[in-house]
Amino acid sequence: MGYFAIAFAVLVTYYITSSIAAWHRLRHFKGPFLGSFSYLWMAKTAVSGKSWKIHLENSQKYGSPFVRIGPDVLITDSAEVIRRINAARSPYKRDDWYDAFQTNPYSRSMVSTTDEDQHNYLKTRTAAGYSGKDVPSMESDLAGQIANFKDYLRSKYLSTDAKTKPVDFSKAVQYYALDVITKIGFGNEWGFLASDSDVDSFVASFIKMTPFMSLCCDVPWARRIFANKFMLKLVGPKETDKFGFGKMMG
């Protein structure tokens, strides 16, 4: 019992000391009190599904340009600050926050890599695709999907004097966007508009995954536990999947 008491006292002392040290570093920035020494506030906010609303309210409450939401995390709503951080030859580096966006355990993408040299290399390799130079059919592909979108609304949701057919426009626009992406990226649209459905449960998989990804993005200990190669190999999406994000990877 004596050893247990000693171990407990050591843990409590360590927690209090580390919490004070965490609070002290950025103590001059205002924000939620719990967030100043613990990631529990960020974890709760991430899984709430209302992060955008909570962060907006805190920005309005505590003022601009910075609000402290974690022991070493600040958020900003200042366009000037964001431009300075993202400027060419900026001294700011990509944080481990991006690790949560790794879906393939064997390689990094331009989004998930935190290595500046690799990021610049991948950005150079893909720049032509974003400019449209490597996709000569981009304009006609977009025009075709716009036509499909118009046909989708006219054939399925055209109201008459006798009957009103409401359309969930947020869902319709999402289907249109995914058909555009898959048409340009793979040569053929997946058919979200044609089927008026979530093909291969792609949207559903993202909705289900979003709170978990938010938690891994915002909370370092959750990121280290879940967003690593071992866990991705064990439970992450795979190229052989018949649905969801794994289907697109395949």
pLDDT at 67: 95
How confident is the model at residue 87, as a pLDDT?
87
Count of CA atoms in the C-beta half-sphere (13 A) of 223: 18
The token pair at 179 is 């058909």
Residue 68: partners with Cβ closer than 8 Å, 6 or more residues away: 26, 29, 30, 31, 32, 35, 36, 74
Question: Dmax over Cα atoms in the chain, in whole Å?
Answer: 82
Cα separation, 137 vs 239, in Å, equals: 27
User: Residue 21: CB partners within 8 Å, gap ≥ 6?
Assistant: none
What integer is the mean pLDDT of 229-243? 79
pLDDT at residue 128 tops 80: no
Measured torsion, CA atoms of residues 158, 159, 162, 163, in degrees rounded to the nearest 10: 100
pLDDT digits 0-9 by tens, 196-228 = 999 988 888 888 888 888 888 888 888 888 877
Measure the CA–CA gap between 95 and 192, rounded to whole angstroms.
35
Model confidence at 1: pLDDT above 60 = no
Q: How many whole angstroms separate alpha carbon 66 and alpha carbon 97?
A: 18
pLDDT digit string (tens) for 143-176?
999 999 999 999 999 888 888 889 999 999 999 9
- The dihedrals phi and psi of 74, each to the nearest 5 degrees, come to -120, 145
pTM of the model: 0.72
Instruction: Copy the structure tokens of residue 113.
Output: 């890599």
Tokens of 123: 């950005």
Instruction: Give the Cα separation of 3 and 45 in Å (integer).
Output: 37
The string of pLDDT tens digits covering residues 54-97 is 999 999 999 879 999 999 999 998 999 999 998 888 888 888 88
Mean pLDDT value across residues 119-126: 84
> What is the model's pLDDT at position 120?
84
User: What does the alpha-carbon distance between residue 98 and residue 161 come to, in Å, rounded to a whole number?
Assistant: 52
- The ranges assigned to domains in the chain are 2-92, 127-249
